[in-house]
Amino acid sequence: MPSFYHETKTVFGTHKNPILQWIFTVDHKRIALLYMGVMFTLFFLAVSAAVTMRAELFFPGPQFLKPHTYNELFTFHGVTMIFLFIVPGIPAALGNFILPLMLGARDLSFPRLNLLSWWLYVIGVATAYSALMSGHGFADTGWTFYAPYSLRTDSHVLPTLIAAFILGISSILTGINFVVTIHRLRAPGMGFFKMPLFVWGLYSTAWIQVLATPVIGITLLLVILERTLNIGIFDPTKGGDPILYEHLFWIYSHPAVYLMILPGFGIVSEVLTTFTRRTIFGYHAIAISSASIAGIGYLVWGHHMLTSGISDMARIIFSLLTFLVAVPTGVKIFDWMATLYKGSIILATPMLWILGSIVNFTIGGLTGLTLAAIGADIHLHDTYFVVAHFHYTILGGVMFMFIGGLHYWYPKITGKIYDEVRGRIAFGLMFMGFNMLWFPMFIAGFLGNPRRYFDYLPTFTIYHQMAGVGAVLVASGLLTILYNFARGLKEGKEAGPNPWNATTLEWHISSPPPLENFSKIPYVDFDPYEYEHGEPVVHFDENFRRVV
């Protein structure tokens, strides 16, 4: 059967030119690959910026960067990683590809809107990077654009702000598309509690995209208007209030961190069940905890402002709520542990990434609780402790889950199998490298090394040098993955429909899938992860009727 690589549909009908066939496609699978292409190019750019920073920090004192250039670099790194990479992240890349397959659908509810989202994303990227080409240089505000500095600096913040606004629209449209798809296009018989847990993760994420993104959109728009028309809302000289900016920024940006992690949690559940060959422990608890993390996550933003002069009462409430949000997260971790217990664990590459991510994320999460304690935060705020904490959750957590997911679905997407040995080596490099890179920064931060500085006191040298070596290991791990994936395309074995013996619907169709995924839509009256004696229970015939 010809796969979606061979035939496609575009908004304008058919094209001969293969490039036009790609950039105007309305096939969710192709759009997913378009996202992946742009996103990972940007990811590697941002990693290069990070490695440059680590090189500057290898010795105390100024090396080869000017202080101002360093400020631009961490802003470039932060903005790219957050707004251009990890926020569209797992949903736009893997979610786009896998969601309809898991639901037993032929596409998303609004395929053309999906293409529009990608185009807006590309326009957003171009706008953000236009600041690099112009004389003033990239924004130097940090990815948070705090007022009043973002109102005053003469670096090029406007393009970056406009870009973030456009990217917000793109993200909202994707969110709407996913919510409607999940409500409307589940295969007949598939109730909400028969959906795979990756879908639950995407569902909670989509609601956050829809409800929180408008807040940052309008806030950044106000900063834009502030810079161009001097409105005064965040400008203290005109009676405006910069603390209000911080509130509004974090009302979005805290839920946004759950927006990054929830799809990742979904991947964990998929990979764990497949490589323990058993059903997940506590399916309902995991599904509900995704939704409740999304809900409570809305009410905790103030923990970023414990030192910003908000009232004691507000600080106590925000601190308490932050502790609460750890509960559903803990529920998940324990459910995963229980799934592993007495399962027949297979340590394939995706599984290694997922287990690694659980370790890293647990450290990241617990240090988050440390920061949520008001007293501790007053000491740790704005130090490398914070930077280490969020790299543990995002790089060590989300990114590891993302990479695990990419390995897991690589056979489905490409139809080939990558080299297992190279896959494990890459994981080893990255797991070691990552912990070398960021664990010392907990200590440096705890001892008082502030963040966002191009320099540090000589006493901190040892920590920064360990981090420097770690960064090199991480970078080489990433390159190994890239190489492995590229070689897999050429010389990998044919994967077949279900190389991992997994149970969800995407593994019942050919790899790579055909244009509209399912020739007939199956009836789903079974749970997503049904195994018996280590084998999937559910099988279909060629007409997608269940065989017993």
| Residue number with CB closer to Cu ion (215 or 413) | 215
Burial of residue 219 (CB within 10 Å: 0-12, 13-18, 19+) is: buried
| Residue number with CB closer to another protein (106 or 391) | 106
Report what 78 binds from Cu ion, another protein, ligand HEM, none; CB cut-off 5-8 Å by kind. Answer: ligand HEM
Q: Are 147 and 234 in contact (CB under 8 A)?
A: yes
Q: How many Å separate Cα 226 from the centre of its chain?
A: 31
* Overall residue count recorded for the chain in this entry: 548
Torsion sign over Cα 170, 171, 177, 180? negative
Backbone phi, psi, residue 383, to 5°: -110, 175
| Residue number with CB closer to another protein (225 or 327) | 225
Q: Are 389 and 367 in contact (CB under 8 A)?
A: yes
Helix (H) or strand (E) holding 528: none
Q: Are 454 and 393 in contact (CB under 8 A)?
A: no
Residue 531 bridge partners (DSSP): 536
Residues with Cβ within 8 Å of residue 252, at least 6 apart in sequence: 212, 213, 215, 216, 219
| Residue number with CB closer to another protein (105 or 260) | 105
Helix (H) or strand (E) holding 9: none
Among residues 409, 358, 361, 418, the alpha carbon closest in space to that of 198 is found at: 409
**Minimal CB distance residue for ligand HEM:** 78
Report what 445 binds from Cu ion, ligand HEM, another protein, none; CB cut-off 5-8 Å by kind. Answer: none
Buried b (16+ CB within 10 A) or exposed e, 356-395: bbbebbbbbbebbeebbeeebbeebbebbbbbbbbbbbbb
Q: One-letter amino acid identity for 331?
A: V
CB 372 to Cu ion: min, Å: 9
DSSP character at residue 394: I
| Residue number with CB closer to another protein (95 or 368) | 95
Report what 85 binds from another protein, ligand HEM, Cu ion, none; CB cut-off 5-8 Å by kind. Answer: ligand HEM
Report what 176 binds from ligand HEM, another protein, Cu ion, none; CB cut-off 5-8 Å by kind. Answer: another protein
Residues in contact with Cu ion, counted by CB under 5 A, come to a total of: 1
DSSP character at residue 416: B
Report what 110 binds from Cu ion, ligand HEM, another protein, none; CB cut-off 5-8 Å by kind. Answer: another protein
254 near Cu ion, judged by CB under 5 A: yes
| Residue number with CB closer to another protein (180 or 374) | 180
**Minimal CB distance residue for Cu ion:** 254
- Give the residues lining the site for ligand HEM (CB under 6 A): 47, 50-51, 53-54, 74-75, 77-78, 81-82, 85-86, 142-144, 387, 391, 394-395, 399, 437, 451-452, 471, 474
Report what 422 binds from ligand HEM, another protein, Cu ion, none; CB cut-off 5-8 Å by kind. Answer: none
| Residue number with CB closer to another protein (179 or 294) | 179
| Residue number with CB closer to another protein (452 or 546) | 546
Q: How many Å separate Cα 26 from the centre of its chain?
A: 23
Quick one: which segment of 49-57, 185-193, 250-258, 418-426 binds Cu ion (CB under 5 A)? Answer: 250-258
- Give the residues lining the site for another protein (CB under 8 A): 105-111, 172, 175-177, 179-180, 183-185, 187-189, 210-215, 217-219, 222, 225, 229-233, 238-241, 244, 248, 520-523, 525, 544-546, 548
9 near Cu ion, judged by CB under 5 A: no
Give the tokens for residue 196. Answer: 């795979």
Report what 471 binds from another protein, Cu ion, ligand HEM, none; CB cut-off 5-8 Å by kind. Answer: ligand HEM
Q: Are 145 and 71 in contact (CB under 8 A)?
A: no
Report what 254 binds from ligand HEM, another protein, Cu ion, none; CB cut-off 5-8 Å by kind. Answer: Cu ion
Question: What does the binding site for Cu ion look like in residue numbers (CB under 5 A)?
Answer: 254
